[in-house]
Structures are given as C-alpha cells and as structure tokens.
Homo-oligomer: A and B are copies of this chain.
Amino acid sequence: MARAAGVSTAVVSYVLNDGPRPVAAETRRRVLDAVEATGYRPDGIARALASGATHTLGLVLPDIANPFFAALAHALEDEASRHGLVFFLGDSAEQRARQHELIESFVGRRVDGLVIVGVDEELDLSPARRAGLPVVVLDRILGEPDVGAVGIDNRAAAALATEHLLHHGRRRIGLVTGPEDLPTAAARADGWREALTAAGLAPAEDLTRHSRFDRHGGYRAGRSLLGVKTPPDAVFVASEQQAFGLLRAAHEAGVSIPDDVAVVAVDGTEAAEYSVPSLTTVTQRFDELAARAIELIQHPAAESRTAVCNFDLVPRRSCGCPEPRDPEREPTS
C-alpha cells in the first residue's frame, strides 16, 4: 500500500488516522487514491497491538435469551456502535464459573472495558482490576469500589408500582421477587414494603415469594401465591419475565387478571404490550442505561462512578387500567 502510493507507511497511518502529524494535501490525495485502488483495509489487530487500544468491549450477561437482557444488549450494541466500539458477547448461563472464564477471556483479548450483569453478588473482578480495565456493572448494582454502576432506583421503582396498585383500590397486595441473595430483588421487595407501610398497611409477608428472575420462576411463585386460602387481590412482580409466568399460572388457575388479581411488574420490554392481558410495567429506559454505561467506560475517572437512570410507569391492562389504544397499533380506519 505504502509503495503503491509512493510514501512511507508512516504517512499512510497519518492520513488514515488524521494524525498525529499533518500531511500535505497532495500527498493525502495520493494515499487516498491508492487506498481506493488497492482496496486496502488496515489490520485491526496490528493496529491494536501498536496503539494499545482495541476499541472492543466485553459484555457479560446471565442469559442473552432472556428478553430483558436481550433488550439491554440491543441498546448497548447500538450505543457502542456510535462510538466505534464493538462488544464481545458473553453469556454466563447464570453460572459463576462460566462468568469468570468470560471475564478472563475478555481481559486476555485486551478489551478496553467490561460491562457486566453479574449472576449474583459474588462478582470477582480481579482479572479486570489487574489489567486496569474500567468495569461497569449493570442492573444488579454491587458494592464494589471504583467500579461503575448503572441502574435504576429499584426501591423507588417498586414503590411506584405498588402505589399504582393501591390507587386501584387494592389492599391485599402480594409480592413476587427474585432470589433472596440478589440485591436487586431485595431492593424491589423493600420498595413494595415501603409503599404499603406509607399507605398504613402492613406488608403481608405470607404473601411474598422468591423465585428465579425468569418466566418459570414467576410461574411457580404465581401458582403458590394464588393457591393460598385467602389469595391477594394484587401482586407486585419484580420482573417482567416473572410476571409472564404469573399470568400463565393465573390463567391455569382460572384467576382473572386484573379482575381478581391486579398485576404490575418492573422492566418493560416490548413483549409487555402484546401479552394477554397486556402488562402494566415500570419501564426501564434501555437507551439511557446503555448511554450511561458506555459513558462510564470511556470516562472511568468521572466525578461519579454511579448513574441512576429514570423509569416510567406504563399503565396497561393487567393493573386494571383500560387496555391502551396505541395510535401506532390502532389502524386509523
């Protein structure tokens, strides 16, 4: 390539990278023409080795097939692409050992940073720390020092969801949340308690269920919760996937949602608009989560290592609100 343009490789580099040295317009032309003519593409690996930056990030998720994480991945990929970054996809399959392998693998591949949703509170970041890599933990905020954290105020989100159930006149409000050892699950449970207490009600601890943050977990919890002698008249469900499982359990048990039991969940992927009944959710802003995550990776020295993102209550049918007539969905016949 350099010879094709009759210049040194240094100049080719200067032209293609716009620096760090200036290049005469005439020379630049010649290089660009030669690039065009030869179809030359710089080798990203050599570039990475020489420059020290791979422009690559590692993404570690408990399960990419979980629609919530898939939505997160979608938003992250989109945001990363705006910055010329690309993600390695890591699916830890909810396993600590696999998660650790992924982190080591990504560090070994010299990523510029790591974005992680940990499988539980035991997150060993030592390989990243040794390499001096910026790390951002998503969704499940952990107490690690000098690690970026991006998420919503889980307690507030859960309280908002529970208050909405209260506004619908429900008083016997149950709880389905995630595993006890997950801070996110605990925080959402706390929000439920807080809203009830603020309303002068005693949280019915016999109406609480812990299960995995997936459909099957919600299904099991739903069967159990709806089968008690005096069932709840509403349930706050800590994740959308669990809520879908609970919807199914209710259907099988002949329990009508929302007539018998009103439901509000947290998360908010597109699927919530299409379930039967449609699911009222406190929706996380995936774009915002992604933007903050990339920001913290690129500016690890930022004043604050923590970004608390916004959320929105999106009323649909499962809480007792009318089925939304989405103008985009409704044919304007």
- Residues of A in contact with B (beta carbons under 8 Å apart): 39, 41-46, 48-49, 54, 56, 59, 63-67, 70-71, 73-74, 77-78, 81, 86-91, 93, 98, 101, 104-110, 127, 130, 215-216, 219-220, 223-224, 244-245, 247-248, 251-252, 269-271, 273-278, 323, 329, 331
Which residues of B sit under 8 angstroms from A270, Cβ to Cβ?
A: 65, 215
- A323–B276 CB distance below 8 A: no
- B44–A110 CB distance below 8 A: yes
Partner of A64, one of B74, B93, B220: B74
Which residues of B sit under 8 angstroms from A91, Cβ to Cβ?
A: 73-74, 77-78
Query: Which has the most chain B C-beta neighbours within 10 Å: A39, A74, A107?
Result: A74
Chain A binding surface, main DSSP class? helix
Contact A331 B65, CB 8 Å, known A78-B91, A91-B77, A275-B275 = no
- B274–A276 CB distance below 8 A: no
Which residues of B sit under 8 angstroms from A89, Cβ to Cβ?
A: 59, 73, 77, 86-89
Contact A108 B44, CB 8 Å, known A65-B70, A271-B215 = yes
- B41–A45 CB distance below 8 A: no
Partner of A77, one of B49, B78, B90: B90
Partner of A41, one of B88, B107, B269, B331: B107
Partner of A74, one of B48, B56, B63: B63
Contact A251 B271, CB 8 Å, known A49-B49, A64-B70, A64-B73 = no
Which residues of B sit under 8 angstroms from A45, Cβ to Cβ?
A: 45, 48-49, 54, 109-110
Q: Which 9 A-B pairs give the minimum distances between C-beta atoms?
A: A70-B70, A65-B74, A89-B89, A44-B109, A77-B91, A44-B108, A248-B274, A251-B276, A87-B89
Contact A65 B67, CB 8 Å, known A42-B108, A43-B110 = yes
- Shortest Cβ gap from A35 to chain B (Å): 13
Which residue of chain B lies nearest to A67 when distances are taken between CB atoms in the complex?
B67
Kindly list 18 other residue pairs between chains A and B, CB separation below 8 angstroms, not including A42-B108, A56-B109.
A41-B104, A59-B89, A65-B70, A65-B269, A66-B70, A67-B67, A73-B89, A74-B91, A77-B90, A78-B91, A81-B101, A86-B90, A87-B89, A89-B89, A215-B273, A245-B274, A248-B276, A248-B278
- Shortest Cβ gap from A109 to chain B (Å): 4
- Shortest Cβ gap from A98 to chain B (Å): 8
- Shortest Cβ gap from A306 to chain B (Å): 25
Which residues of B sit under 8 angstroms from A90, Cβ to Cβ?
A: 77, 86
